[in-house]
Amino acid sequence: MAAYTLGELARLVGGHVIGDDCICIEGVATLANASPQQISFLANSRYQYQLSETRAAAVILSESELPQCRVAALVTANPYISYARIAALFVPTSAKQQGIHPAAFVSSDAVIHETAWVGPNCSIEAGVTVGANVRIGPGCFVGENSGVGADSLLVGNVSLCHGVHIGCRNTIHPGAVIGSDGFGFANVQGEWLKVPQLGGVVTGDDVEIGANTTIDRGALDDTVIEEGVKLDNQIQIAHNVHIGAHTAMAGCAGVSGSTRVGRRCAIAGGVGIAGHLEIADDVTITAMSLVLKSIREPGSVYSSGIPAEPNRPWNRRLVHFRRLDEMAARLKSVEHQLGTDINKQEN
């Protein structure tokens, strides 16, 4: 079991200790559930009331929260980032395996680095290249002429279709499908003709792709996910989309074909982005918003979702909504009448 003194953790994150810096820390936990051997954190003021009751050995917090803390404190400028770095020390690690499991199929034409691991029931097709220290978990499929960069992890039941190239240090969670055909069809006299999807998918380094997320291959050019992008679970990325570096997207978001999303964007859950649009760098789009036009101003914030509210007031508002046309016509009539009266007075 890993264990660190509070002083060692402070040096790791560039913070300072208030209290005993020799306290032994053996794990991380929430303020409400931490034990005297664990460290917790306070990054959201709504949980400040738990400071007085926590049993944690120490709490990571900002200077402004220090007066309410009754246990040892690790003071940092950004408690959440400090927590993330400390929590990484306590992630359980299993013994590293190398080689190919007997229950895996690997084409004789595939190149698997000697330090890589291919788990049971995997299928690795011809022309595949798997880099150093890659972990391909059970049940994964890697299609022809695809590549997986060094130190990447395919957790399990991940499908990489043909012509997919994964960067280094990627993490791809169970059920993700990368490189399936894009939704390309042409209407011919009321029937749908399939348009061949001839491109691939390319991801940069340090990308994370959540469970059951799908990224379609390009129609001609590749679909591109740049370095550092973080995609949550159950996201749909359509063909020829380009996601800029270090953009993060929350669950159930969807991006339609040929849209370009800028760098460092934050796209919340349930957002829908129409096709052939341009989203500038550093844009934030709040939950359940529908984007139908390009957003060209860097750093802007867009919202269109309607937050839930109690049913009775919502029903009243819905009645007004249904009468908008009538109300607009009445307002226009009043404005016209007022304008006529003013003109008469001036004349």
Residue by residue, DSSP assigns 8-43 as HHHHHHT-EEES-TT-EE-EE--TTT--TTEEEE--
Whether 120 and 101 have beta carbons less than 8 Å apart is answered as yes
With b meaning 16 or more CB within 10 Å and e meaning fewer, what string describes 246-275? bbbbbbbbbbbbbbbbbbbbebbbbbbbee
Three-class SS state of 209:
strand
The total of other beta-carbon atoms located within 10 Å of residue 32's CB is: 12
Asked if residue 208 lies in contact with residue 225, where contact means CB atoms within 8 angstroms, the answer is no
Catalytic positions, written as ranges: 239
Q: Which has the closest alpha carbon to 108: 117, 97, 100?
A: 100
Tokens of 121: 């029931």
The helix/strand/coil state of 194 is strand
Q: Could you tell me the two tokens for 196?
A: 């061949």
Estimate the crossing angle of helix 6-13 against helix 79-87, to 10 degrees.
Answer: 120
CB 45 within 8 A of CB 62: no
Contact status, residue 278 vs residue 292, Cβ threshold 8 Å: no
